[in-house]
Amino acid sequence: MIMLCGIDEAGRGCIAGPLVVAGVVLNREIKGLADSKILSEAKRDALFAKIKAFSDYKIVFCDNKMVDTKGLSYCLGYAIKNIKEYFLAQNAQYEILMDGNSAFGVSGVQTLIKADAKVPEVSAASILAKVSRDQFMYSICHQYPHYSFAKHKGYGTALHVEEIKNYGYSDIHRTSFKIKSLREPSLF
């Protein structure tokens, strides 16, 4: 029997913290799965526990330094390849489906735009990636008291940009991401 491994990511557009990519093979049906972006935090957390209990999964973190030095596309390809290798080592047959329109150079991976809203395995991967990333940002917020990581999770909100203006970049920020409102004004 061929199993389906769904893959999705969280944190691609953040200006601080890691990129997190998850791959999930469901062992049973889990009710309520959906794209993590449309679920409340409480619902995501409840589903996170169920997904971990009733699936095989692999979660890959690419820290902000890796994103800055290698780039997002490399990091996504690296994570997808790691997930693919993890599941292929299980001695079973898998089809691998990534949310979006690119497999970032990894062969044997199918893609589908909005798969996180259409395919339960990809919805589950979306939830694992998002909750894992959020938990990481919660875990470091006390180390960075000038940044409201528990609130904005490293995304480029007005509050976060204001914090960077006031305190500069921390060692958890992605310095390769250029924020328009922080650029020096042009003389021309």
Q: Which domain holds residue 76?
A: 2-141
Token pair for residue 169? 């970049």
Cα separation of 81 and 120, whole Å?
Answer: 21
**pLDDT, tens digit (0-9, with 9 covering 90-100), for 147-185:** 999 999 999 999 999 999 999 999 999 999 887 766 554
Q: Is the whole model's pTM more than 0.85, yes or no?
A: yes
Phi, psi of 63 (to 5 degrees): -70, 170
Task: Assess if residue 41 is contained within a domain.
Answer: yes
How many domains does one find in the chain?
Answer: 1
Task: Assess if residue 165 is contained within a domain.
Answer: no
Strands 19-26, 2-10: pairing is: antiparallel
Cα separation of 42 and 47, whole Å?
Answer: 9
**pLDDT, tens digit (0-9, with 9 covering 90-100), for 15-36:** 999 999 999 999 999 999 999 9
Helices and strands (H and E) in the chain: how many: 7, 5
Phi, psi of 111 (to 5 degrees): -130, 155
Cα separation of 47 and 128, whole Å?
Answer: 9
Task: Assess if residue 86 is contained within a domain.
Answer: yes
